[in-house]
Amino acid sequence: MQVNGKHYQTIWLENGTVFMIDQNKLPFSFEILQCHSWKETAAAISNMTVRGAGAIGAAAGFAMAQAFLEAPANSPDYLSEAQKQIEATRPTARDLFYASAEVFKSGDKISAVSRALELAAQNAEEGRMIGLHGHELIAEGTGLLTHCNAGWLAFVDYGSALAPVYESYRRGRRFTVFADETRPRSQGARLTAWELVNGNIPHYLIADNAAAYFMQQGRIQLVIVGTDRVAANGDVANKIGTLEKAIAAKTFGIPFYVAAPLSTFDLEANSGEDIPIEYRDAGELLFASGPCEDGTIETIRTAAPGTQALNPAFDVTPAEYITGFITSRGIIPAKAESIRKLFKNELKL
Amino acid sequence: MQVNGKHYQTIWLENGTVFMIDQNKLPFSFEILQCHSWKETAAAISNMTVRGAGAIGAAAGFAMAQAFLEAPANSPDYLSEAQKQIEATRPTARDLFYASAEVFKSGDKISAVSRALELAAQNAEEGRMIGLHGHELIAEGTGLLTHCNAGWLAFVDYGSALAPVYESYRRGRRFTVFADETRPRSQGARLTAWELVNGNIPHYLIADNAAAYFMQQGRIQLVIVGTDRVAANGDVANKIGTLEKAIAAKTFGIPFYVAAPLSTFDLEANSGEDIPIEYRDAGELLFASGPCEDGTIETIRTAAPGTQALNPAFDVTPAEYITGFITSRGIIPAKAESIRKLFKNELKL
């Protein structure tokens, strides 16, 4: 994507160093972080400098490739220990496990780097194809709701849920995006809104609480969200709040699509119950950071001192609430049978 | 309610001055604001120094009484102009219009003050009775969800949605409150959490996005919210997000109760469509205020520069989503017929 007239990917690997847009600094400052070792890259995943299903997949692949580059000769445990630590950074997104396993089994330094680069390129290509298949869902004049950030910042490029938005805009269609703020980390307000401002896409930022209201008012005709992991039966793990939006969409008869790169399908998870849900620090609800009027970044308290918070980062939306998956191979129903067909003739993905 | 070992009401009138807990300063500082004229009191309603259906009703009554005290002799238009301005402060809550009209028609200074005091006392008494009728809904071990703040801070005392919580706690029952953060103004995180900490009530603060997740996980067995206005058919206007919680509760088969003082019923509104929905400044979504580590209050930006926000403050939950109203006269179904019966033999309320 273009930022300040220059093309950027969210994350890339160059001479053994991983470069990434620092998503904790966005939207107030656009900075590139360099990770010189697999441990630095893993830390960037767990502190969410890089976040979003696809982007952390690419990051995990790159980290694994860095581990190959850094591995001392004759230390067979080094790589499996690195893989274990990379996989421990975040539990929910399927891409992370997929990419680290793929690179792990590549066997040597050169193959590892090459496989990691290939996975990252696939990740961007998946987004591009999702855009090409999904844009037709966005009719002229549509009000489209999205939750969290599944834009290009969540991938290597293009994004998942926002890929059809960019493609539709490129084709001159007029529509309005409603972007949920997405508390507690406010990826909607910080990242999706930043992407949409950056891309000139007409949009409104709304409180998470307001989604059902705008559906009831007839302002929203379509929902597209991303996903961190899809189970074999079509259940979807995605950012906390997705379930609530899906239930509201069903109530108001609004189509609810999940943009899902192939790497997010986990055929070994029979249903949503097999997907681990990450709980994050309560501090995400109790404090907020951002720039004051003079530009200095401050952290303020946002809740009553002494209160306790519970902070699940994801939820599972049952397949029955999902109209379809937008994949790089086309749009399919959220049914076990359709998912099986998607991967027919492939041993595993 | 007790704060630091002393009994407080949320708002009171003394020698023509209105005293109120400054709810914009809570939960970080407990201060009493004095309003010496009806204009100051009206300003405190519109800038939300005092907020919550019942408390702004009391404030409007007090402001109208102050207008009587301040009215120059032989200026008949003064009072109707004051009423108009008091009513223009907030559009959605029924109590505000009810109280200002009641005091307006009282006729003279002494009757006005006396009627305003009476309405405030009724408001507290309504809360007490709602607690007595509602506490039986909270079985031992219940997980109870509430949205926004309908505690004693939203009334003169006791509260509406939280009145059953306080009564149940007083009786030694054990249960857990799940308090929605309630973006964008975070009344849940700031005010409900503060009330619950202050009252020693076991609770968790959660992101608005997490309510459906905890319902799905079986952690929530009951929802109680307040209301700003109830239409004759049982439709309920309340804080934005209430609709979404009600839809989720119905989906998971969880009873959804609305604690409704008699003064919130607007029999002249046939349905929710007759209730005006207030839109507030987009800045509520784009900025947040709170104390930094050193205690100074800072305002930070929370969203991408250049983004636009839409900020409806209330929504309407259709009667079909509501299990019942907890009123000072008992619990009734959310049906037109039951509401009519509640006011039988009363010309108007």
CB-CB neighbors (< 8 A) of B216 in chain A: 243, 315-316
User: Does residue B180 carry a catalytic annotation?
Assistant: no
Q: What percent of chain B has pLDDT over 90?
A: 96
Residues A90 and A46 sit within 8 Å (Cβ to Cβ) = yes
**Who has greater pLDDT, B92 or B215?**
B215
Task: State residue B345's pLDDT score.
Answer: 67
**Contact of B206 with B179, CB cutoff 8 Å:** yes
ipTM: 0.94
Q: Is the backbone of residue B186 left (phi > 0), alpha (psi -120 to 50) or beta?
A: left
CA distance B110 to chain A (A): 40
**Which of B 304-333 lie inside 8 A of A, CB atoms?**
304-312, 315-316
Average pLDDT over residues B138-166: 97
Radius of gyration of chain B (CA): 19
Residues 19-48 of B with CB under 8 A from A: 26-28
CA distance A314 to A56: 15
Q: What share of chain B is helix, strand, coil (3-state, %, to 5)?
A: 40, 20, 40
For residue range A134-188, list pLDDT tens digits in order.
999 999 999 999 999 999 999 999 999 999 999 999 999 999 999 999 999 999 9
The Cα angle at residue B325 between residues B324 and B328, in degrees rounded to 5 = 145
CA distance A296 to B147: 33
Percent of chain B whose pLDDT exceeds 70: 99
Q: Taking a contact as any Cβ pair under 8 Å apart, which residues of chain B between 245 and 264 contact chain A?
A: 247-248, 251
Residues of B in contact with A26 (CB under 8 A): 304
The pLDDT value recorded for residue A345 is 67
Please give the structure tokens belonging to residue A278. 């990450």
pLDDT of residue A349: 46
Looking at per-residue confidence, does B229 or A76 come out higher? B229
Question: What is the predicted pLDDT for the residue at B349?
Answer: 46
- A277 → chain B, closest CA residue: B213
Whose tokens are 């202050």? That residue is B198
* Chain B touched by A300 (CB under 8 Å): yes
Reported confidence tier of residue B190, pLDDT bands at 50, 70, 90: very high
Among A280, A284, A91, smallest CA distance to A185 is for A284
The whole-angstrom separation of Cα A236 and Cα B172 is 41
Cβ-based contacts of A240 with chain B (< 8 Å):
207, 209-210, 213
Q: Which residues pair with A260 in a beta bridge?
A: none
pLDDT at B347 over 60: no
- Amino acid of residue B85: Q
Question: Cα A196 from chain centroid?
Answer: 16
pLDDT of residue B348 exceeding 80, the answer is no
CA distance A311 to A165: 30
In this structure, what token pair is assigned to residue A69? 């580059």
Nearest-by-Cβ selection for B207 from A285, A293, A297: A285
Contacts A–B by Cβ distance under 8 A? 225
Question: Cα distance from A259 to chain B (closest Cα, Å)?
Answer: 20
What is d(CA B277, CA B229) in angstroms, rounded to the nearest whole number? 11
Nearest to B308 among A204, A239, A305 (CB): A204
The per-residue pLDDT for range B296-314, each reduced to its tens digit, is 999 999 999 999 999 999 9
Q: What mean pLDDT, rounded, does chain B reach?
A: 96
pLDDT of the residue at A344: 86
Q: How far is A156 from chain B (nearest CA, A)?
A: 21
Contact list in B for residue A206 (CB cut-off 8 A) is 285, 309-311
Residue B326 has pLDDT above 80, yes or no: yes
Using 50 as the pLDDT threshold, list the residues of chain A that sit under it: 348-349
